[in-house]
Amino acid sequence: MRINADTENIDKLSTKEMVKIFNNEDKKVANVVEGCLESVAAAVDLMVSTVQKGGRVLYIGSGTSGKLAVIDASECPPTFGVDDNMIIGVISGGVEAVAGWKEETEDDCELAAKDLKSRNLSSCDVIVGVSASGNTPYVLSGLEYASHIGCSTIGISCSSTGMLNRTADICIVSDVGSEVIEGSTRLKAGTAQKMILNMLSSCTMVKLGKTYGNLMANVKPINLKLKRRAIDIIMYAAGCKEEAALEAFERAEGNAKAAILMLINDIGAK
């Protein structure tokens, strides 16, 4: 147990003093994550290589870590226009654990292999285990099963002493220190994990050509907001007015990247 000396008396502080302490602790997270960028880059390269060879990326976690993994995976298709099965989030307890909580499932070692088998995990895939402590039985057993069938493995941990460090082929360790509230890893640890997952998926997508520069040109225009965003992207990238962007967007059947190329190269849709 690591007690945060700076927050021991948090229950006696004013509201303003309390939120300032939270903010000060959060400021430390980015610096810690900066210290693991070499491991993050190696993990990105492994993920890119896996997808280019036809494999998938599967995140696996429990509790907050699992929810963050599911969020990151589920946002890739609408943001980058990729198939739902390219990056998959697996959480112990399933859908019920995402909408609520099923914390007891993190101790179920047999469940991880069952969940991965149900998703047809193969040696062509890479698995990313997310565990703040680095000791979550569900995550560790999942990576052990993955290794057994020949998968490459990546770990995301917030503890330098966690077993995940010795289990994963590449382990990204962001030891954020003691939490504002001792043991509540949804705080700084959760923030660090979210930052790392953002980099893993986003950098992978950029390297796979799913953006146009820094524009999310593969966005799926599935609602009014995203359609508007696609039009704005086309206008900016092609340097055209809205009318021309809309026309190209329609001719490209809702493919913003194709519309950009059509306008820039003055060609029709194929």
Structure tokens of 157? 């941990």
Q: Which of 103, 106, 179, 243 is catalytic?
A: 106
> How many other C-beta atoms are found inside a 10 Å radius of the C-beta of residue 47?
26
Cα angle at 193 between 187 and 199, to 5 degrees? 140
pLDDT digits (tens, 9 = 90+) for 164-182: 999 999 999 999 999 999 9
Strand, helix or coil for residue 128: strand
pLDDT tens-digit series, residues 66-115 = 999 999 999 999 999 999 999 999 999 998 888 888 888 888 889 999 99
Pure H helices in the chain: 15-34, 37-52, 63-74, 76-80, 94-99, 109-118, 137-148, 164-167, 188-207, 224-238, 242-251, 256-265
Rounded Cα distance between 14 and 146, Å, is: 49
Q: Mean pLDDT for the chain? A: 94
Q: H or E element: which one contains 86?
A: none
Question: What are the structure tokens assigned to 211, written together?
Answer: 């953006």
What are the residue ranges spanned by the domains of the chain? 10-207, 224-265
Q: What average pLDDT does the segment 212-228 reach? A: 92
With CA atoms as reference, report the closest residue to 142 among 118, 166, 109.
109
Domain 10-207 sits in CATH at 3.40.50.10490
Identify whether 104 is a catalytic site residue.
no
Instruction: Return d(Cα 171, Cα 189) in angstroms, integer.
Output: 15
Catalytic residue at 8?
Answer: no
Tokens for 240? 């055209």
Q: What is the pTM of this model?
A: 0.92
Out of 17, 25, 34, 75, pick the active-site residue. Answer: 75
Rounded CA-CA distance 74/167 in Å is: 26
What's the confidence (pLDDT) of residue 183?
85
Chain centroid to CA 210: how far? Answer: 16
